Amino acid sequence: MSSMTNTKIAEKFEQIADLLEFQGSNPFRIRAYRNGAKVIRDYPVSMASLIEDEQKDLTSIDGIGKDLAEKCQTLVQTGSLPMLDELLAEIPKTVLDLLRVPGLGPKKAAAVHKELGVATLEELKAACEAGEVQKLKGFGAKTEQAILGGLSIASAANKRILWIKANAIAEQLRTHMNACAAIEKFDFAGSYRRGKETIGDLDILAVSTDADAVMDHFATFEDIASVIGRGGTKMSVRLENGFQVDLRVVSHESFGAAMQYFTGSKEHNVIVRGIAKKRGLKVNEYGVFKTNDDQDEYVAGGSEEDVYAALGLPCFPPELREARREFDWAAAGQLPDLIQLKDIKADLHMHTVATDGKATIQQMIAAAQDRGLKYIAITDHSKRVSMANGLDESRLLQQWQEIDRINEDLQKSFHVLKGIECDILEAGGMDLSDEVLAQADWVIASVHYGQKQPKAKITARILGAIQNPYVTMIAHPTGRLLNKREPYEVDLDQVFAAAAEHGTLMELNANPYRLDLDDVFCGMAKDHGIPIVINTDAHSVDGLDVMVCGIQQARRAGLTKHDVANTRTWNQLQKLLRK
């Protein structure tokens, strides 16, 4: 079967839409590509398999017309698209970087390109700093400042990709490398293994006595665009999306040492080397060695456990290796037993077709049961989020009546909480009345609008929600979107102090674009004694699968299952809620 996945096809169509909009093409044509990309990305069956089945007609899928169906077929069968190649030939490749700047968009990007000759992020920054951008029609000083503020995000997006995207590449590489008979053992290292929210490149370590055979096999990975370099035991490549992958072939006796060294972080390894030096040892990617005159005597290196044990240290979980608190915990014999995916009993933030979700309550229940969950909360948007068809009080109460009926049918085999994601209004206060919120099992408070308000104003809004006796949890508390939007200004010290006082929980939103709270703030919340709730914010059945991203972030924060509220049964969680 073709390697052209639904995600890859969707990315190609989204790129076409951006380029067409950049050129000022027909809005209906642009919309067709954007809608088609969304349909294909979310479609449960691979386009490649449908195309290979001659009985299937892609135009029978709502949102896929004849033109898009033909382009899908071309992509699946050839791996490329002439129309996209032509568009890319007409527009300098660096111009695509402009489209990543938050607040710019294809139309404004086209304006600065055509009227100011701007073709790179560096030129855009210079034009903003010279005050040239604000002079353009439809821009102004505020827009210019917003563009300057967004340039760092665009630069980061060029260099780093979300962990979940790196994971998809890693899984493809794992399948590919598993087919190489010359490999005895292999794994991934680097920031990907540490679970960082964005990844700059992938590191692969393989054990083999035939490095050439391993590298030859690696070179046949179909997404490789170019080979950056190849030596005796190391090979670096760039993939079609510009992402770099480094392969190193090592010996059995060095595999653990190489894993420890290349997993990092650099800061963690500096401390490890310092500890080794105090013991008369040295540690590098080849092993741990005792230094005797000019001779180095091999001590350990086959496994990470052996490497750390030789230094009198426990084997730190990769997610903790950031030179923050892990060495203090180890010295005190208090290295935390980190939370695992299997510890989660509930997902308490999700949306249905009642607002902007793609599945019914029943479908979300079935998907949650398939994933081993014991209960969920249905938390559709409140009415302020009009673009998502948010629920007013009447529709919400009707939904809760439906949930009551569903729970009767479930007969305690599974439980559905009557919930709501209620907006914190721009002027303060909640989007729904206390009279209605009092009838809920689970009330989430969220900031979706007014995110550019001053710090004091946003903080006051969130503090007001925390003080509301019916609010259970604050969702995605900083509002950030990785590689897309900076967090809004909020005083989390005040927020955490109030949450601890009022018994309000804090969310770690597992959506890979959010991961909000981040790992540092999750650790701060733990220090305040605030239980964290790890939720997917799922808008579809598949959306429940991003829980793994939240677990990873929680592990980086040093959280155990006791620090996370939804590792408890519903009866246990009710006792935790002090409100």
For residues 43 and 60, what is the distance between their CA atoms, to the nearest angstrom?
13
542 pLDDT higher than 90: yes
Q: Where are the alpha helices (DSSP H) in 24-133?
A: 27-42, 47-52, 66-78, 82-90, 95-98, 105-116, 121-129
Same domain, 97 and 165: no
Q: Which range of residues forms the domain containing residue 60?
A: 6-159
Q: Is residue 294 part of a domain?
A: yes
pLDDT of residue 294: 78
Final residue of a structural domain among 272, 298, 331:
331
Identify the residue with better confidence: 566 or 222: 566
Same domain, 424 and 301: no
pTM of whole model > 0.85? no
Q: How far is CA 259 from CA 187, 189, 281, 291, 396, in A?
A: 8, 6, 18, 22, 52
Over residues 266-314, the pLDDT tens digits come to 999 999 999 999 999 999 999 999 988 778 899 999 999 999 999 999 9
Same domain, 363 and 485: yes
pLDDT of residue 401: 98
Same domain, 322 and 396: no
Identify the residue with better confidence: 173 or 579: 173
51 pLDDT higher than 80: yes
pLDDT of residue 384: 95
* Phi and psi at residue 415, to the nearest 5°: -130, 140
Same domain, 319 and 361: no
Same domain, 105 and 18: yes
Q: Is residue 1 part of a domain?
A: no
pLDDT of residue 507: 98
Final residue of a structural domain among 117, 137, 159:
159
Domain count, the chain: 4
Same domain, 416 and 518: yes
Size (the chain), residues: 579
